[in-house]
Structure 1
Amino acid sequence: MHAIGMRKWIVPLMLGLGTGTRQEKIQTLGLILKEQKEGLAQLGPNNPIVDLAKIRHTLGKLINESGFKNDEAFLW
């Protein structure tokens, strides 16, 4: 049941990423990352909603939006 709730939050947030200020995008990505981390903690690593690759992708977007060109310097 909780997986469905996460999906309702994550999808609308992602749709709004194309507009807004840099700060708004950073805040939105932070909210997405929080939901992803909570989902991973609650559902475990082998769930169909979120995995480490998706979290890594969100972190990369957050790093890039913060003004760093190369997220590889921060991530595995």
Structure 2
Amino acid sequence: MLWLRFDDGLEGSVFLGNLLEIGAFQLWRDVREFEKVSVDPETATVTWEGGIRLDPDVLYHDVAARSGR
């Protein structure tokens, strides 16, 4: 789970466990690796070491759908 807060005040969690079996995402099995998450200040992209990047628009729509927006 990853908790996100967006500039417009929308906040909530996204489930990423379904990615754990795919290539580079297998690193996340180690919680310490998953906790190395950061946000690129220029692109607002959620990133991890090793080049993993999650599209903020996709994440926003996921959180919005879960919150009923």
Q: What TM-score do you get using the length of structure 1 for normalisation?
A: 0.29
- Where is the strand percentage greater, Structure 1 or Structure 2? 2
Does 1 or 2 have the higher relative contact order (CA < 8 Å, sep 6+)?
A: 1
In terms of Rg, which structure is larger? 1
Q: What TM-score do you get using the length of structure 2 for normalisation?
A: 0.32
